[in-house]
Amino acid sequence: MFHLLSGIKIIDLTTIVLGPYATQILGDFGAEVIKVESTDGDLFRAVRPGRRPDIGVQFQNFNRNKQSVALDLKTPEAREVLYQLVADADVVVHNMRSRSAQQLGASFDELRKHNSQLIYCYAPGFADGGPSQNDPAYDDIIQARSGLAALNADADGAPKFVRSIVCDKVVGLHLAIAVLTGIVHRLKTGAGVCIEAPMLESMTAFLMSEHLAGHSLVPPEGELGYSRMMSKHRQPYRTRDGYLAILPYSTRHWTRFFTLCGATTLAEDPRVTNAELRSEHIDELYQEIARIAPTRSNDEWLTALKAQDIPCSAVNQLDELARDPQLVASGSFETLQDPVLGTLQQLRSPFRIHDGNTEPTLHQRADRRAPGLGEHTRATLEQLGLDDGQIDSLFEAGIVR
């Protein structure tokens, strides 16, 4: 955990992956993140495996460096607690539909009554004002509707989901950027702001930046889809003993690659030496790589390609990542000893802080594991000034947990 956002207080009303991923990044940078959950808890807590019923490993990997306060926001008493939390907070973040936030008393219009300088950022499935604004949205739904599943189609043309919670995480990054932009805006103007980062619209912008392609021009010149990405021969190539990613990209890469392979005629071919022609014939060139790749082993290719500074990589399996020399050297996987959950392995924040004088800083202080459900409820209520009797009454009534 770093200290760059120390002093920033974030009320986190997010659930599942999208919002928690965004607020974990902010917590990694040192913001105080108070995760306000229902008394049943974030649904992602239940995903197994896990050593405690309320802390599954998936929840654990998206909610470090946070506190948990469990409130039943369907009750007026719990809403009053939320309003007290918001009163001295900098940011409120959620990934609910606007209708749901309003029903829980957590709309922007309501919360800014309690904090006129509030930064309010949210990521609904679909932008407000559209016909789908009240529809439920999860990662698979957005993969389908944004075109990602179709882009990931198998050899028979059947759409396939990417095997990652990719839409939640990409839009989570958008949401984190929105929060940071709101903070900068308030520092410059002193005013609060409401920023919406809807899932479908964010993923469409993310994907279509390259795939709008010839339709960027009116009338269109060419098809939708970035041709290099759409090539059916763009794939890890089968070598003599495995698979390898081989990516000549610049003219220098391509001429060096074909020269290395003894294909001097191709190295001098205008389809290789002319960048515009190369773009038009990229699928043919990828076929040439596929034809040549089986002539050498992975190790032989890696040695030869790296010597020519041609981009290449072995294809790691998931169980090989923790042994990847680069990831080992950068400390990407770390071990945490926790008195409640025992020994844990976690991915540290990928960011590194450079000050120009010392080695890059990996941490300013130790990361904290994901909190148990309501682990910080009592301490937070005490900080708000409630006495033991008031707090006990809230617990007994099921308003907090």
pLDDT tens digits, one per residue of 379-391: 999 999 999 999 9
Rounded distance, CA 284 to CA 71, Å? Answer: 60
Written in H, E and C, the secondary structure of 282-329 is HHHHHHHHHHHHHHCCHHHHHHHHHHCCCCEEECCCHHHHHHCHHHHH
In the chain, the percentage of residues whose pLDDT exceeds 70 is 100
Structure confidence by residue, pLDDT tens digits, 313-362: 999 999 999 999 999 999 999 999 999 999 999 999 999 999 877 777 87
What is the pLDDT of the chain when averaged over all its residues? 96
Residue 167 has pLDDT above 90, yes or no: yes
Q: How confident is the model at residue 260 (pLDDT cuts 50, 70, 90)?
A: very high
Angstrom distance (rounded) from CA 35 to CA 66: 6
Written as one letter, the residue type at 278 is R
Residue 35 Cα to chain centre, angstroms? 18
Residue 296 pLDDT level (bands cut at 50, 70, 90): very high
205-239 pLDDT, tens digit per residue, is 999 999 999 999 999 999 999 999 999 999 999 99
- What CATH number should be reported for the domain whose range is 237-314? 3.30.1540.10
CA dihedral 197, 199, 200, 205 (to 10 degrees): 60
pLDDT of residue 199: 98
pLDDT above 90 coverage of the chain, percent? 96
Predicted confidence at residue 211, as pLDDT, reads: 97
pLDDT of residue 298: 97
Please report, for the chain, the start and end positions of each structural domain, with discontinuous segments joined by +. Answer: 9-206+340-396, 237-314
pTM of structure: 0.95
Averaged over 8-32, what is the pLDDT? 98
Q: Categorize the per-residue pLDDT at 370 as very low, low, confident or very high, splitting at 50, 70 and 90.
A: very high
Q: How many CA atoms lie within 13 A of 282 on its CB side?
A: 19
Please give the DSSP secondary-structure letter assigned to residue 235: S
Per-residue model confidence (pLDDT) at position 223: 93
- Domain 9-206+340-396 sits in CATH 3.40.50.10540: yes
Q: For residue 119, give the amino acid letter.
A: I
DSSP 195: E
Q: Given this model, what pLDDT does residue 366 score?
A: 87
